[in-house]
Amino acid sequence: MTKAIWNGTTIAQTDQAIEVEGNQYFPADSVDMKFLQPSQKKSTCHWKGEASYFDLVVDGEVNKDAVWSYPAPKEAAKKITGYLAFWKGVQIS
């Protein structure tokens, strides 16, 4: 079981994570969305497409842009459609 933990709270857990470029991508239905707030941040990967970001909010603490996803990835990254990944101190185990 792969877990994403931040601020002592399990944000996501699954046995269906997909690893891409060293990052674990979690299916959206394995992520507790009550801890995510949409962010204005966007970024572009030459082979995955445009990423959208979310802030993590746990016990009043905010981890800005700590979660990302590719809502409409390019063909080469179609397998991560509907998946989310974490960084910025989020512990993956």
Closest-CA residue to 67 (of 88, 47, 46): 88
Place of tokens 């185990």: 93
Q: Do 56 and 35 contact (CB within 8 A), yes or no? A: yes
What percent helix, strand, coil does the chain show, rounded to 5? 15, 60, 30
pTM for this model (two decimals): 0.95
Class of domain 2-17+37-92: mainly beta
pLDDT digits (tens, 9 = 90+) for 9-48: 999 999 999 999 999 999 999 999 999 999 999 999 999 9
pLDDT digits (tens, 9 = 90+) for 42-70: 999 999 999 999 999 999 999 999 999 99
**Which pLDDT score is estimated for 67?**
98
**Which pLDDT score is estimated for 48?**
98
Cα distance between residue 1 and residue 18, in whole Å: 12
Cα distance between residue 33 and residue 30, in whole Å: 9
Cα distance between residue 17 and residue 25, in whole Å: 5
Domain edges within the chain = 2-17+37-92
